[in-house]
Amino acid sequence: MTVGIKDVARVAGVSPATVSRVLGNGVVSDALRQQVEAAVRETGYRPNLSARRLRSQHSQTIGLIVADIRNPFFTAVSRAVEDAAYQAGLRVILCNTDEDPEKEAMYLRLMEEERVTGVIFAPTRQTVEHMAETPRNFPTVLIDRACQRSREDTVVLDNAAAAGVLVEHLYDQGYRRIVGLFGNASTTGVERHSGYMVAMSRLRLTPDAVFIPPSAEAAEAEIRRRMVDGGAVSSRPEAVVASNGLLLMGVVRAAGEAGLAIPGDLAVAGFDNERWTELVGPGITVIEQPVETIGRTAMTMLLERLDAPEAPIRKVVLSGRCIVRGSTARKG
């Protein structure tokens, strides 16, 4: 039924080995090469990638493990990774972990069974701590999240600096009581928190930071609690920094429901230049992450690692770009 390399060989009047060499840029005389190419066209032969992978021991496949492809940050990074991968002749297996360490472990096991040549991984805080203890037989590049002790190549944002930029921008615009909302699931929340703390203390402001689950609902509830249910108006926050797109959305939603003007009643700034941040109200001030560069760099690092398994570990830190919009207009 299905036509294999042997059928092509028979039609071309050569051995299977020769057909294989024609297909895989081996050394073959021009005459035979042309016979084989004709036979390939005639038979409509399509290589069987499973067989090829088994014999050659190259899966030509990488894994991409992220929390949720619906998070626009990961969507954009994925697209960049896939473009780079297909260009390098690699397939990509996408895995959504929903920030669940068990799913992460399961998918890492699966990657092993697929014999992937490498993995690009955005781990949870919990998993990143234990990466060293669980040996894997493929190289891994961490994106977005990592820790000091990580023994893998990484490409991350300069989270602390970016958070500091937002705080300083708000300060420059005249805001003083600045509350910080940070996600508690990933290391980015931790780093952005520390950047916030450093900036606040340098500016001699009283920090007011809280870690919450990474959901719009949690942020919404937190803002409602502080701005509506809270005590005296004079003690309410004047501005808020949200450490990712999801939290930022919750903040904006809470403001809308409570009838708070942005920035009149509450200035807003956050991370992730999602499309809506440009359109909503006066526009929201955000840190834009270089998503394409992150994806492309991760892929490049992985390829280079495959070439040089013993090369020193590299950690690439990219800086974000602060896009100033109306949500942080000068106070007063």
Partner DNA sequence: TGTGATTATGAAAACGTTTTCAAGATGGCG
Partner DNA sequence: CGCCATCTTGAAAACGTTTTCATAATCACA
Residue 179's beta-bridge partner residues?
A: 208, 240
Cα distance between residue 288 and residue 274, in whole Å: 8
User: Which of 68, 129, 158, 238: binder of a copy of itself (CB under 8 A)?
Assistant: 68
- Per-residue HEC secondary structure of 183-218 comes to ECCCHHHHHHHHHHHHHHHHCCCCCEEEEECCCHHH
4 near DNA, rule: CB under 7 A: yes
Residue among 15 and 96 whose Cβ is closer to a copy of itself? 96
Query: What gap in Å lies between CA 226 and CA 204, rounded to an integer?
Result: 22
CB under 5 to 8 A by kind: which of DNA, a copy of itself, none does 24 bind? DNA
From the DSSP assignment, how many helices (H) and strands (E) are in the chain? 13, 12
End-to-end CA gap in the chain: 78
Give the CA distances from residue 109 to residues 112, 151, 184, 286, in Å, rounded to whole numbers and listed in that order: 5, 19, 26, 37
273 touches 280 (CB < 8 A) = no
Provide the minimum distance between the beta carbon of 4 and DNA in the complex, in angstroms, as a whole number: 3
Residues 93/85, Cβ–Cβ less than 8 Å: no
| Distance in Å, CB of 156 to DNA, minimum | 35
Burial class (CB in 10 A: 0-12, 13-18, 19+), 118: buried
Question: Using the rule CB under 7 A, is 230 a contact of DNA?
Answer: no
Q: Tell whether residue 23 is a contact of DNA (CB under 7 A).
A: yes
Min CB(114)–DNA separation in Å: 12
Contact residue for DNA among 10, 16, 88, 215 (CB under 7 A): 16
Which of a copy of itself, DNA, none does 4 bind, CB closer than 5 to 8 A by kind? DNA
Subset of residues 177 to 236 that bind a copy of itself, contact rule: CB under 8 A:
none
Q: Are 127 and 142 a contacting pair, CB within 8 Å? A: no
Map tokens 């492809």 to a residue: 69
Q: Which stretch binds a copy of itself (CB under 8 A): 23-31, 40-48, 229-237, 305-313?
A: 40-48
Of the listed pieces 73-81, 157-165, 220-228, 311-319, which binds a copy of itself according to CB under 8 A?
73-81
Which DSSP state fits 295? H
What does the DSSP 8-state code read for residue 18?
Answer: H
Q: Which of residues 271-330 bind a copy of itself (CB under 8 A)?
A: 274-276, 278-280
Q: How far is the CB of 14 from DNA (least distance, A)?
A: 4
Torsion over CA: 175, 180, 181, 185 (sign): positive
Choose the one of a copy of itself, DNA, none that binds residue 204, judging by a C-beta under 5 to 8 angstroms depending on kind. none
Q: Which of 208, 256, 268 is nearest to 228 (CA)?
A: 256
244 binds a copy of itself (CB under 8 A): no
Considering only residues 34 to 93 of the shown chain, the ones binding DNA according to CB under 7 A are 45-48, 51-52, 54-57
At its nearest, how many Å lie between DNA and the CB of residue 52? Answer: 4
CB of 189 to a copy of itself, least distance (A): 21
- Check binding of 75 to a copy of itself (CB under 8 A): yes
Q: Choose between 149 and 275: whose C-beta lies nearer to a copy of itself.
A: 275
Q: Which helix (H) or strand (E) holds 271?
A: strand 267-271
- Residue numbers of the site for DNA (CB under 7 A)? 2, 4-6, 13-21, 23-24, 26-29, 31-32, 45-48, 51-52, 54-57
- Residue numbers of the site for a copy of itself (CB under 8 A)? 2, 46-51, 53-54, 59, 68-70, 72, 75-76, 78-79, 82-83, 91-94, 96, 109, 112-115, 137, 249, 252-253, 256, 274-276, 278-280
